[in-house]
Amino acid sequence: MKTDLNMMGAKGAIVEEAEGKWGMVIDQDICTGCQACVAACAMENNISFVGEEDAGYGRTQHWIRIERFWEGEYPEVKMTPNQPMLCQQCGQAPCEPVCPVFATPHSNAEQLNLQVYNRCVGTRYCANNCPYQVRSFNWRDYHIDRFHANKVDGKSVYSFHNQFNPDVTVRRRGVMEKCTFCIQRIHKAQDTAKSEGREVVDGEFTTACAQACPANAITFGRVDDHESLVSQLSHQKGGVKHLEELNTLPRVTYLKGG
Amino acid sequence: MSDKFSRRDFLKLAGVGTVTTVLTGCIAQKEVKREPYMQMPEYNYNGQSTYYATTCRECAAGCGLVVRTMQGRAIKTEGNVNNPLNLGKTCARGQATLHGLYNPDRVRGPIKHARGESLYETPVDPDADDFKNADSNMSWEDALQVVADALKNNKPEEIAFLMGTASDHLFDLVTDLANATGINAPVRFSALNMFESRATLSQAAENLLGEAGLPFFDVGGAQVVFSFGANFLETWLSPVSYTRGFAGLRESKTKLRGTFVQFESRMSSTAGKADEWIPLRPGTEAMVALAIGRLVSELRGNPLPRAFSDIEPLDVAAKSGIKLETLEHLAEMFASSTGALAIPGGAALGQSNGLAVAEAVLALNAVSDNFGKPGGVFLSPIAPNQTEYQRPASAKEMQEFTQQMADGKFKVLFVHGVNPIFELPASLNFKDALKNVEQVISFATFPDEMAVEADYVFPDRHGLESWGYQRVATGAAQPVLSGLQPVVSGVYKPDSTELLYDARATADVLIAAAQLADGKFADALPFQDEVEFLHSKVSSLMTEADGFFSAADADTFIAYFQQNGGWWKLSDARGAPNVADVLNRNISGAESEFAGEGEFFFIPFVSPTLAEAGANKPWLQELPDPTTTVMWNTWAEINPETAHELGIENDDVVKITSEAGELEVPVYLYPAIRPDTIAIPFGQGHTAYGRYAQNRGVNPASLIGQRLNEAGDLAFAGMKVKIEKTERKQFLSRLESRIGVYNEGMEEH
């Protein structure tokens, strides 16, 4: 059941009371912090690298990042379990109602937070309002920064452009972006299933991060299907949803384990 | 090139199509666009992807890949789910291999140049002008003649090959060439292996387990894992496979969550996952392992074996800085477990007593009686096509090789797949020795330091454009031969059917040159091309039993080999070590010796994200280091307390001096390192290697001397260094908030 907050004056916001559709479980006990998910995400989603200086200003475009904190002091110092942080695809997302141009709508069909790049005017309100700090802004046209170009036969050639995934929009300067749960993969799987006259099977596809993870710490799937692996894992003891108290209804469950 | 089976020919461009990327953004000064290829490869449909199985060449582990291609371009690498080594998984470097394929700094074609001359031009103002690669100034025909002349016009003993650890088929080809013609057998080296101390591990395995090679440590099946410096979740031996093992240690439906203890003076990202991190004093690893062995034997009520009889735990506690209670608690943990495993590796073995450390730690497994049992130590299966483990050169062997160069024994040196000028410590003077080699021919794909110092650069194709195979040395339960095939025919210029990077497979170059050189060379490599050579090596597996697939004829077998990304056996072929008297040996528990005069122990470690050759891949540069979150640079890790005493703050540049050299590097206050130790990651500090790598960070190898351990590995962790604060500051870019560790900067410190 859904409540349309538009009726109550909050633009573009939809509250899902159910658990949502797509969800993810991340097992922090086995995440080694190896960054394979970060690299896989970047390669899948045409994410630009920003270079040393902009990275120092906190302008990196990672859609997923590994957080780790320290507890105690030497010699009793401990690294907290690595915590991959990505868009939680909130059922009640703080980023959504603050966008003045409806560039961060909620997908009714997939129950995900969308980002409409060609509608975004770059106010960055959504990023300000995201308690998970998982939105990143294109401060420059990183992909066509001249630094990456080579002069070949008198022309500027950007050889990295060969690698773009044609299923994912390339973002330009002034646009906000964030994790999409690899919605291009969701759509492809749905299209394939539809053409074969069947439902999408659990485990048939997964997100780039989950696919790469050498420890298999990330599980993706339908959380509303109680037979699915992700649903079963998310109901395990020790499952935590971050900043749940803000009533954001996050779709990512963290298993603390240990 | 073969017209028979070459998929490169399949990929020969035919048909026209377009690839457009949707563009967004309100400001349209320039376009982000990808030009469609003039002609499309066969078997490609617009809007549909084609997937090819191949093998990752970013390190020598041999993980299987499946690469998504679209209209002749590789756009995403995934793990090959069938390959028993990585079961569909990849590490960050495997993902970023595309940044090698499309790297703008790749060598454009065969080049003759003066030694020391850069292979690309950096614009004065990068905002206003483009980079320019050195133009190819000779044809491949001329290049083949150069190689042929080099082979023909020199005595066999004056010809040397220095090779990297991937890929194995090329190594086999050169080995065959060497065996048939009397030229020097190829020498293989990789900095990764140097920092893993492979020779030490292999020697210890020979001494204790009865067979030289890399033991297989069944982390996944164990209940308690003690690792002495083995950074198996980062770069050690086969990180993807060991990470899967680690996940198995932690979670299993059939057993309790396993415990993991890491012994090392600096908390690596592997140690960050440990339940307990034991920051022992560097040099005391052997005695700590022996003391634990003694305490475990006592707890179990076993008679005290000779290996542990001389060790005094109280004495060890004093020397190692580990409390006796901690040693007893660890022994209790080890003794009470039914599946306790101990792993020696990394910096612990890279010391003057490294062999003793490896033996002492392996001996713990004898106490645990886990040899050949689940959760224990096995002998890695011997890979197909091989009779024994082929160890890359140790530091000692590299010293000998370099000496031969310096003595003018080699008239011509061929280098492939390794960048010795960067990877070897500067104290070896490899670059100077190079001056006494008349002709240096590099097959580098990228303009690395070695290519710059060569007379000729004949670029090899990138791994994703290449044929070949890689033997899985360790990490899989079965014998695995991972196969490579080109997933794309090359990278093309926009609006053109010309290759942007006119590279040629080194195997093809050598085969063609051998034909030109004629005589014994032509007889040694009687092949039309690389593919035919590959078939000659692989087809013999057709008749072997227990294969993952079989075929009635060679053509079918080869087709399956390509489709599946290799060939492997189905049954577990890990061997049980022959362990008659491991505990009746004398193993020295003496402290290691340290070279140099400073007050700090120095631990160089391989960057988990960059490793030895990742610095030219910008997305690897932008991956935060798992422990410090630093990107794009090198740092020195210093304990905050020590730094405070020395008046050093984050980002202060310090000068570090060892007996071998000195360097200046910004400081990262690292809370998880011994106060008497400093650590620097290896991976940056290039003086060439493209725009993303050059002049970025420092290379800690310049601090490492040439002292060896008994097994001939470099005692790279056996150095003492001095620190001196400079007046400079250099701000490190890190992912974590600049408020950083302990809220420093937020309050008075």
Each residue of B430-481: pLDDT tens digit?
999 999 999 999 999 999 999 999 999 999 999 999 999 999 999 999 999 9
Residues of A with CB below 8 A from B128's CB? 146
**CA pair distance B363, B582, nearest whole angstrom:** 6
Q: How confident is the model over B528-566, as pLDDT tens digits?
A: 999 999 999 999 899 899 999 989 899 999 999 999 999
**Contact predicate A23/A221, CB 8 Å:** yes
Is residue B657 predicted with pLDDT exceeding 70?
Answer: yes
Nearest chain B residue to A56 by CA distance is B733
Reference B268, options B608, B517, B657, B531; nearest CA is B608
The bridge status of strand B630-631 relative to strand B733-734 is antiparallel
Nearest chain B residue to A55 by CA distance is B733
Are B632 and A157 inside 8 Å of each other by CB? no
How far are the Cα atoms of A132, B230, B619, B638, B667 from residue A79, in angstroms, in the given order? 20, 18, 25, 16, 20
Counting Cβ atoms within 10 Å, is residue B438 exposed (0-12), middle (13-18) or buried (19+)?
middle
Is residue B9 predicted with pLDDT exceeding 60?
Answer: no
ipTM for the whole complex: 0.92
Q: How confident is the model over B223-258, as pLDDT tens digits?
A: 999 999 999 999 999 999 999 999 999 986 677 899
Reference B168, options B506, B466, B471; nearest CA is B471
Pick the CATH number of B7-102+466-500+556-568 from 3.40.1370.10, 2.20.25.90, 3.20.20.70, 3.40.120.10: 2.20.25.90
CATH of the domain at A197: 3.30.70.20
Q: Which of B98, B103, B240 sits opposite A214 (nearest CB)?
A: B240
Is residue B263 predicted with pLDDT exceeding 70?
Answer: yes
**Contact predicate B394/B713, CB 8 Å:** yes
**CA pair distance B416, B599, nearest whole angstrom:** 39
Nearest chain A residue to B125 by CA distance is A147
Counting Cβ atoms within 10 Å, is residue B254 exposed (0-12), middle (13-18) or buried (19+)?
exposed
Report the alpha-carbon angle B437-B438-B441, nearest 5: 85
Q: Which tokens is B333 given?
A: 């943990």
Closest chain A C-alpha to B479 CA, distance in angstroms: 21
| End-to-end Cα distance, chain A | 36
Q: How confident is the model over A151-184, as pLDDT tens digits?
A: 999 999 999 999 999 999 999 999 999 999 999 9
**CA pair distance B592, A144, nearest whole angstrom:** 53
**CA pair distance B670, B217, nearest whole angstrom:** 30
Are A208 and B623 inside 8 Å of each other by CB? no
Q: How confident is the model over B610-630, as pLDDT tens digits?
A: 999 999 999 999 999 999 999
Substitution target in B19, B21, B237 with the highest count of A β-carbons within 10 Å is: B21
Is residue A241 predicted with pLDDT exceeding 90?
Answer: yes
What residues does CATH 2.40.40.20 cover in chain B? 600-743
Q: Which of B149-153, B559-563, B742-746 comes out lowest in average pLDDT?
A: B742-746
Are B250 and A144 inside 8 Å of each other by CB? no
Architecture of domain B111-190+392-457: 3-Layer(aba) Sandwich (3.40)
Residues of B with CB below 8 A from A55's CB? 622, 631-632, 733, 735
Residues of B with CB below 8 A from A45's CB? none
The bridge status of strand B73-79 relative to strand B111-112 is unpaired
Give the containing element (helix H, strand E) for B292: helix B285-300
Nearest chain B residue to A46 by CA distance is B75
Q: Which amino acid is at B302?
A: N
| End-to-end Cα distance, chain B | 67
Q: Which tokens is A136 given?
A: 């990143």
Indicate the DSSP class of residue B231: -
Residues of A with CB below 8 A from B96's CB? 39, 43
Are B132 and A35 inside 8 Å of each other by CB? no
Residues of A with CB below 8 A from B76's CB? 43-44, 165, 208
Q: How confident is the model over B461-472, as pLDDT tens digits?
A: 999 999 999 999
Q: Which amino acid is at B417?
A: G
Q: How confident is the model over A62-106, as pLDDT tens digits?
A: 999 999 999 999 999 999 999 999 999 999 999 999 999 999 999
Are A74 and B240 inside 8 Å of each other by CB? no
Task: Work out the number of other CB atoms within 10 angstroms of the CB of residue B712.
Answer: 20
Dihedral class, residue A37 (left if φ above 0, else alpha if ψ from -120 to 50, else beta)? alpha
What's residue A6's pLDDT? 52
**CA pair distance A234, A238, nearest whole angstrom:** 9
What integer is the mean pLDDT of B669-697? 96
Secondary structure (DSSP) of chain A: -EEEGGGGT-TT-EEE-S--SEEEEEETTT-----HHHHHHHHHTTPPP-HHHHHHTT----SEEEE--EES-TTS-EEPPPEEEE----SS-TTSTT-TT--S-B-TTT--B---TTT-----HHHHH-TT---EE--S-GGG-GGG-EEETTEEE-GGGGG--TTSPBP-TT-EE---SSHHHHHHHHHHHHHTTSPPPTTS---HHHHH-TT--EEEEETT-TTSHHHHHHTSTTEE-TTGGGT---SEEEE---
Substitution target in A46, A59, A150, A216 with the highest count of B β-carbons within 10 Å is: A150
**Contact predicate B223/B259, CB 8 Å:** yes
Please tell me which of A10-24, B21-35, B395-409 the model is most confident about, judged by mean pLDDT.
B395-409
How far are the Cα atoms of B175, B510, B524 from residue B441, in angstroms, in the given order? 18, 12, 21
Nearest chain B residue to A50 by CA distance is B622
Closest chain A C-alpha to B619 CA, distance in angstroms: 6
Q: Which of A6-15, B216-225, B514-523 comes out lowest in average pLDDT?
A: A6-15
Are A52 and B27 inside 8 Å of each other by CB? no
| CB–CB contacts below 8 A, A to B | 266
Is residue B328 predicted with pLDDT exceeding 80?
Answer: yes
What's residue B692's pLDDT? 96
Tokens 């730094």 belong to which residue? B643
E strand segments, B486-584: 566-568
pLDDT > 90: percent of chain A: 83
Pick the CATH number of B194-383 from 3.40.50.2000, 3.40.228.10, 3.10.150.10, 3.90.550.10: 3.40.228.10
Nearest chain B residue to A54 by CA distance is B733
Residues of A with CB below 8 A from B622's CB? 49-51, 55, 60
What's residue A238's pLDDT? 82
What's residue B12's pLDDT? 39
At residue B580 the predicted structure's pLDDT band, cuts being 50, 70 and 90, is confident
Task: Print burial letters for B302-320: b (CB count within 10 Å at least 16), e (below 16).
Answer: eeebebbeebebeebbebb
Are A213 and B279 inside 8 Å of each other by CB? no
Are B76 and A158 inside 8 Å of each other by CB? no
- For the domain spanning B600-743, the CATH number is 2.40.40.20
Nearest chain A residue to B499 by CA distance is A152
**Contact predicate B478/B381, CB 8 Å:** yes
**Contact predicate B230/B345, CB 8 Å:** yes
Are A53 and B733 inside 8 Å of each other by CB? yes
**Contact predicate B605/B717, CB 8 Å:** no
In residues, how long is chain A? 258
Tokens 């005695």 belong to which residue? B287
Are A32 and B246 inside 8 Å of each other by CB? yes
Is residue B31 predicted with pLDDT exceeding 80?
Answer: no
Residues of B with CB below 8 A from A171's CB? 24-25
What's residue A20's pLDDT? 86
Q: Which residues contact B191 (CB under 8 A, 6 or more apart)?
A: B422, B423, B424, B606, B612, B682, B701
What integer is the mean pLDDT of B602-613? 95
What's residue B113's pLDDT? 95
Nearest chain B residue to A36 by CA distance is B92
What residues does CATH 3.40.50.740 cover in chain B? 111-190+392-457
